[in-house]
């Protein structure tokens, strides 16, 4: 089932990213640190980076990867040793790859060219290093859908909001007259046909040609047009 989402709010995507990043932090790092996610303006390209595809890119330089690995090992290493630094950078790259896989699994592999991508910086409280997460518009939508279906208070669009931009044809039904085939063949201009509705009887409303479950109107003659006055509001439900 496809979940319809309202237009994105300011915190929708960052909230979805935090929801995914928090278990990743708890998995790799000894300290249980709060995750902050901030939108970065002017850096919206989804390009070549560690753990990148056409929809997702995780960006962090070698110094950041080393710092991440040291944090994962609870500081029990010698960063000054070049050999240790290489091993730390490799471990940091593996940690980043795990984050990329976590986000890719949630966002899905869409295979389309990215459009209007966005870039967010993920930081952990108490640390100076940060990780950039770049997402295409399609990946952002998938993350929002996943976040909308999780938690105790999912943010879903209402049916009314989903239909609000759509147009509809509103009309009213005057009535019917039952005639024989012979009578139909004898009708000529100027003849008056009596319908099955009284002069001041309320008329059912139609939405796109279908009678609604509620909604009535009365004819109000105008100088140059025929108008109707609503006596009950129309409904989107059909009879």
Q: Which CATH number fits domain 12-161: 1.10.10, 1.10.3470, 3.40.1550, 2.20.28?
A: 3.40.1550
Tokens 């993350």 map to which residue? 143
Which parts of the chain sit beneath pLDDT 50? 1-3, 44-53, 109-115, 151-156
- Residue 180 has a pLDDT of 92
Q: How far from chain centre, in Å, is Cα 75?
A: 41
pLDDT, one tens digit per residue, over 75-127 is: 666 666 666 778 888 888 898 888 888 888 877 644 444 445 678 788 887 77
- Residue 44 has a pLDDT of 46
Backbone dihedral angles phi then psi of residue 135, each to the nearest 5 degrees:
-130, 135
Q: Which of 166, 144, 155, 167 is nearest to 17 (CA)?
A: 144
Domain boundary assignment for the chain: 12-161, 170-232
- Residue 51 has a pLDDT of 45
Domain 170-232 in CATH: superfamily?
Answer: SpoA-like (2.30.330.10)
Q: At what angle do helices 12-28 and 82-107 cross, to 10 degrees?
A: 130
- Residue 169 has a pLDDT of 84
Cβ atoms of 132 and 120 within 8 Å: the answer is yes
- Residue 163 has a pLDDT of 63
**What is the number of alpha carbons within 13 Å of residue 119 lying toward its C-beta?**
17
């Amino acid at each position: 089932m496809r979940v319809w989402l309202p237009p994105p709010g300011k915190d929708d995507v960052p909230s979805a990213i935090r929801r995914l990043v928090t278990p990743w932090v708890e998995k790799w790092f000894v300290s249980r640190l709060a995750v902050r996610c901030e939108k970065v303006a002017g850096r919206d390209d989804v390009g070549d980076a560690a753990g990148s595809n056409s929809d997702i890119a995780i960006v962090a330089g070698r110094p950041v990867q080393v710092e991440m690995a040291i944090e994962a090992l609870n500081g029990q290493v010698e960063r000054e040793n070049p050999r240790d630094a290489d091993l730390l950078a490799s471990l940091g790259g593996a940690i980043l790859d795990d984050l990329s896989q976590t986000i890719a699994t949630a966002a899905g592999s869409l295979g389309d060219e990215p459009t209007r991508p966005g870039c967010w910086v993920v930081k952990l409280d108490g640390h100076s290093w940060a990780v950039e997460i770049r997402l295409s518009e399609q990946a952002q939508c998938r993350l929002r859908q996943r976040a909308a279906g999780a938690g105790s208070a999912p943010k879903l669009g209402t049916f009314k909001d989903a239909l609000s931009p759509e147009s509809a044809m509103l009309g009213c039904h005057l009535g019917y007259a039952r005639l024989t085939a012979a009578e139909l063949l004898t009708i000529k201009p100027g003849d008056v046909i009596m319908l099955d509705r009284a002069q001041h009887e309320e008329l059912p409303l139609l939405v796109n040609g279908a009678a609604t479950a509620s909604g009535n109107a009365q004819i109000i003659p105008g100088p140059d047009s025929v108008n109707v006055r609503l006596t009950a509001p129309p409904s989107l439900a059909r009879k």
